[in-house]
């Protein structure tokens, strides 16, 4: 057995409190009420997928405009058109015209950003087919002027299945790596939460143990193996929803920086795991996670 203090492990694996989770649910329900029956709004991201770290205040909500279809991906065609600027603007105005929360509302690239007690990104979306409750849906980048397929419910279902297949160890392990990334890097351009989850998701089920330090070490070395180049280009690493290869568009220099930082941390984590004395174990574990 390792001698790493449990308090230093628990803080890395636990999620938000029940109080905070209830506040987020209330926020999502309020936004659904604001948008009314014209939209179907639901949580996506870390709160929806139960991979949020304990102190996170960032909430992701997708808002599907019902009976509105993608001009790029939908096979359905209609005489009337609605433009993305209008779709963004109508959500923004509804978020501004409320008096329950004190917040500021601005347009982002792919979402409407709300900043108050919680920071919330509300992503407008439209349908591909007639059922707005099935994936995929389509989101839009105002920066590039391009639509993109999005699979929030597939992401959720795959995460649930992975967690069941690993006896409930997948989601806490994701939180460990999210905390590690925030403490060491804290830069989405180097490694985003989306990429972190994809890497952990691709760790084989057999490499999850009822021992979180062992999980971190074994999963981390699995990730380094995944990230090895084959001499020409990185091997594909598919996202949790299977919709994209996370290596595509990942700057090679930033990717290499991530690999280097993770490799160094795994050395410290292994030293902590194998330490004969608690003082050494704690010191090495703190170095592994940059806990100060």
pLDDT of residue 86: 96
pLDDT of residue 269: 98
| Structural domain spans, the chain | 18-150, 155-289
Of 1, 5, 12, 11, residue with least CA distance to 283: 5
Give me 162's structure tokens. 């992975």
Give the pLDDT confidence of 270-290 residue by residue, as tens digits: 999 999 999 999 999 999 999
Share of the chain above pLDDT 90, in %: 92
Of 249, 195, 188, 184, residue with least CA distance to 51: 195
Architecture of domain 18-150: 2-Layer Sandwich (3.30)
Give the pLDDT confidence of 76-99 residue by residue, as tens digits: 888 788 999 999 999 999 999 999
- Integer distance in angstroms from the first to the last C-alpha of the chain? 24
pLDDT of residue 79: 77
Give 3-state DSSP helix, strand, coil % of the chain, rounded to 5: 45, 15, 35
User: What confidence tier does 103 reach under pLDDT thresholds 50, 70, 90?
Assistant: very high
Residue length, the chain? 292
Q: Is 141's pLDDT higher than 80?
A: yes
pLDDT of residue 80: 85
Q: Is 231's pLDDT higher than 70?
A: no
pLDDT of residue 107: 96
Give the SS3 label for residue 63.
strand
Give me 82's structure tokens. 């609605």
pLDDT of residue 229: 77
Supply the pTM of this predicted model: 0.93
> Is 274:284 a contact under the CB 8 Å cutoff?
no
Give the pLDDT confidence of 27-80 residue by residue, as tens digits: 999 999 999 999 999 999 999 999 999 988 899 999 999 999 999 999 988 878
Give me 124's structure tokens. 């407008």
> Is 5:282 a contact under the CB 8 Å cutoff?
yes
Q: Is 190's pLDDT higher than 90?
A: yes
Query: Could you tell me the CA-to-CA distances from 10 to 59, 75, 145, 237, 239 in Å, in that order?
Result: 23, 49, 43, 29, 27
């Amino acid at each position: 057995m390792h001698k790493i203090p449990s308090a230093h492990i628990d803080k890395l694996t636990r999620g938000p409190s029940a109080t905070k989770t209830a506040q987020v649910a209330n926020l999502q329900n309020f936004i659904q009420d604001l948008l009314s029956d014209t939209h179907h709004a639901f949580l996506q991201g870390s709160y929806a997928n139960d991979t949020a770290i304990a102190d996170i205040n960032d909430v992701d909500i997708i808002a599907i405009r019902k009976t509105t279809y993608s001009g790029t991906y939908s096979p359905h065609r209609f005489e009337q058109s609605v433009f993305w600027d209008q779709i963004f603007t109508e959500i923004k105005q509804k978020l501004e015209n409320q008096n329950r929360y004190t917040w500021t509302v601005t347009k982002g690239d792919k979402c409407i950003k709300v900043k108050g007690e919680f920071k919330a990104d509300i992503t407008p979306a439209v349908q591909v087919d007639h059922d707005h409750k099935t994936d995929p849906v389509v989101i839009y980048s105002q920066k590039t002027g391009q639509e993109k397929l999005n699979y929030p419910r597939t992401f959720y279902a795959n995460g649930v299945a992975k967690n069941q297949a690993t006896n409930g160890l997948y989601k806490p392990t994701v939180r460990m790596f999210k905390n590690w990334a925030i403490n060491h890097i804290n830069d989405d351009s180097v490694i985003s939460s989306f990429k972190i989850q994809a890497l952990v998701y691709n760790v084989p089920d057999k490499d999850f143990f009822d021992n979180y330090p062992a999980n971190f070490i074994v999963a981390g070395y699995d990730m380094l193996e995944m990230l090895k180049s084959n001499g020409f280009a990185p091997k594909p690493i598919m996202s949790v929803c299977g919709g994209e290869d996370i290596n595509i568009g990942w700057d090679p220099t930033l990717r290499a920086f991530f690999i280097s930082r993770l490799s160094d941390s795994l050395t410290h984590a292994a030293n902590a795991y194998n330490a004969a004395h608690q003082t050494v174990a704690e010191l090495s574990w703190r170095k592994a996670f940059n806990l100060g």
